[in-house]
């Protein structure tokens, strides 16, 4: 009995070790040699549609679980959830190259929560501005809230709080990296202003977002970063879930119905794990969306997420707790 038990413990330790580091973006090919299962999640071994590799077929590699990988994430055309994890033993990899600005390997830059390009994804934070201004606690004057209150400013769509590079091992502490100062062009300010209303009155909040979050990635300069963030919040607002919020201004939405619309948009229940609703009391304050590290150019959020669904929903003490969520209208 001792030998099987030792083998089991060794196997479990190896399995735990393979989950202790975070996936790393990569490029290359994987040629299947066996008809292995293609999993949506390594940890859960989930494969709801019983998708399997076709021996002899070449697949695009988009991610590996670590540098000395034993799992690869590949793209399987024709599937509703095309990005799947497969064991390296199921075939052979060719031309694997890792992205520049890579996440730190296990044991390298341990605890580096203020070093650029160590993120493993992004969080898009989109504010429901009337709900924030009326019910959230904030320090100092918010001119956009004063504008809403007076009727000078009319907002009937989600707005940009921030686009945050995120490193899971750091929790909420990844930020304040070294980087250049924000110097947005006039064209960029005009482009972003409708989606980040604080920019109508100044750039202090935008500068705060750049200094805390934007500089922790180097793939985009400040102009490209804020333009992309504005595009993403617009795509969220125009999605079925976003328009469900807009259609109920002054009323209420159902949290369950919101997530059902997310599932319909993305064609997968797992997509719900990428979304988080934040409330102040009973009122919607923010929608957060987990996005992959490689922000693909796409016409909608479905294309940006590209089937890269989180294994579980993020946790936050301000998550909306009840099914009925009130949608505040601007003004008095």
Q: What is the CA radius of gyration of the chain?
A: 22
Helix (H, G, I), strand (E, B) or coil at 38: coil
Q: What is the mean pLDDT of the chain?
A: 86
Q: What percent of the chain has pLDDT over 90?
A: 61
Confidence of residue 15 (pLDDT cuts 50, 70, 90): very low
pLDDT value at 218 more than 70: yes
Boundaries of CATH 3.90.730.10 in the chain? Answer: 121-326
The 3-state secondary structure of 235-302 reads HHHHCHHHHHHHCCCCCEEEHHHHHHHHHHHHCCHHHHHHEEEEEECCEEEEEEEEEECCCCCCCCHH
Q: Sign of torsion, CA 61 64 69 72?
A: negative
Question: Residue 102: what pLDDT?
Answer: 44
Q: What percent of the chain has pLDDT over 70?
A: 87
Question: Residue 9: what pLDDT?
Answer: 40
Q: Which of 99-103, 201-205, 210-214, 321-325 has the lowest mean pLDDT?
A: 99-103
Q: Residue 29 belongs to what H/E stretch?
A: strand 24-32
Helix (H, G, I), strand (E, B) or coil at 186: helix
Question: Residue 8: what pLDDT?
Answer: 38
Q: Which of 1-15, 82-96, 141-155, 223-237 has the lowest mean pLDDT?
A: 1-15
- Which residues on neighbouring strands pair with residue 252, listed in sequence order? 326
Euclidean distance between CA atoms 129 and 144, whole angstroms: 9
Q: Residue 26 belongs to what H/E stretch?
A: strand 24-32
pLDDT value at 19 more than 50: no
Cβ proximity of 241 and 275 under 8 Å: yes
Question: Residue 101: what pLDDT?
Answer: 43
Boundaries of CATH 2.30.30.40 in the chain? Answer: 22-98
Cβ proximity of 2 and 38 under 8 Å: no
Cβ proximity of 147 and 184 under 8 Å: no
The CATH class of the 22-98 domain is: mainly beta
Q: Which of 13-17, 122-126, 206-210 has the lowest mean pLDDT?
A: 13-17
Who contacts 119 (Cβ-Cβ below 8 Å, separation ≥6)? 103, 165, 166, 167, 174, 216, 217, 293
Question: Residue 99: what pLDDT?
Answer: 54
Question: Residue 138: what pLDDT?
Answer: 61
Between 9 and 294, residue with greater pLDDT: 294
Euclidean distance between CA atoms 74 and 304, whole angstroms: 16
Best CA proximity match to 262, nearest among 224, 296, 212, 313: 313
Between 238 and 109, residue with greater pLDDT: 238
Between 34 and 6, residue with greater pLDDT: 34
> Side by side, which strands form the sheet with 91-98?
83-87, 71-75, 58-64, 24-32, 91-98
Confidence of residue 232 (pLDDT cuts 50, 70, 90): very high
Question: Residue 67: what pLDDT?
Answer: 82
What is the CATH code of the structural domain delimited by 121-326? 3.90.730.10
Question: Residue 332: what pLDDT?
Answer: 56
Tens digit of each residue's pLDDT (9 = 90 or more) over 177-215: 988 999 999 999 999 999 999 999 999 899 999 999 999
In angstroms, the Cα distances linking 172 to 161, 162, 176, 200, 222 are 15, 13, 12, 28, 22
Taking residues 85-109, report their average pLDDT: 68
Question: Residue 173: what pLDDT?
Answer: 86
**What is the pairing mode between strands 24-32 and 58-64?**
antiparallel
N-to-C CA span, the chain: 74
Tens digit of each residue's pLDDT (9 = 90 or more) over 21-55: 457 777 788 999 999 999 988 888 999 899 999 99
What's the pTM? 0.69
Euclidean distance between CA atoms 283 and 130, whole angstroms: 10
Tens digit of each residue's pLDDT (9 = 90 or more) over 59-93: 988 888 888 889 999 989 878 778 899 999 999 99
Between 169 and 131, residue with greater pLDDT: 131
Question: Residue 244: what pLDDT?
Answer: 98
Question: Residue 11: what pLDDT?
Answer: 42
Question: Residue 100: what pLDDT?
Answer: 44
Question: Residue 103: what pLDDT?
Answer: 44
């Amino acid at each position: 009995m001792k030998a099987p038990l030792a083998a089991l413990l060794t196997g479990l330790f190896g399995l735990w070790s393979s989950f202790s580091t975070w996936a790393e973006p990569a490029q290359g090919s994987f040629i299947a040699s066996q008809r292995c299962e293609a999993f949506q999640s390594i940890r859960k071994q989930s494969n709801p549609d019983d998708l399997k590799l076709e021996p002899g077929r070449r697949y695009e590699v988009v991610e590996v679980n670590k540098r000395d990988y034993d799992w690869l994430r590949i793209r399987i055309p024709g599937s509703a959830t095309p990005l799947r994890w497969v064991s390296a033993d199921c075939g052979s990899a060719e031309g694997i190259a890792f992205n520049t600005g890579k996440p730190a390997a296990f044991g390298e830059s341990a605890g580096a929560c203020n070093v650029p390009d160590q993120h493993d994804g992004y969080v898009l934070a989109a504010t429901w501005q009337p709900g924030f201004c009326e019910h959230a606690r904030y320090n100092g004057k918010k001119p956009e809230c004063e504008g809403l209150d007076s009727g000078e400013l009319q907002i009937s769509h989600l707005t940009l709080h921030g686009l945050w590079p995120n490193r899971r091992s750091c929790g909420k502490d990844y930020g304040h990296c070294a980087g250049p100062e924000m110097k947005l062009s006039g064209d960029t300010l005009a482009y972003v202003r409708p989606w980040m209303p604080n920019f109508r009155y100044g750039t202090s909040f935008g500068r705060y977002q750049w200094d805390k979050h934007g500089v922790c990635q180097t793939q985009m300069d400040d102009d490209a970063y804020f333009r992309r963030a504005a595009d993403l919040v617009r795509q969220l607002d125009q999605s079925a879930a976003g328009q469900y919020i807009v259609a109920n201004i002054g009323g209420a939405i159902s949290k369950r119905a919101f997530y059902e619309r997310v599932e319909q948009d993305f064609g997968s229940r797992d997509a719900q794990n990428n979304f988080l609703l934040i409330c102040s009391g009973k009122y919607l304050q923010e929608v957060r969306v987990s996005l992959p590290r490689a922000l693909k150019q796409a016409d909608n959020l479905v294309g940006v997420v590209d089937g890269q669904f989180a294994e579980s929903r993020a946790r936050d003490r301000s998550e909306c707790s009840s099914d009925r969520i009130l949608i505040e209208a601007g003004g008095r």
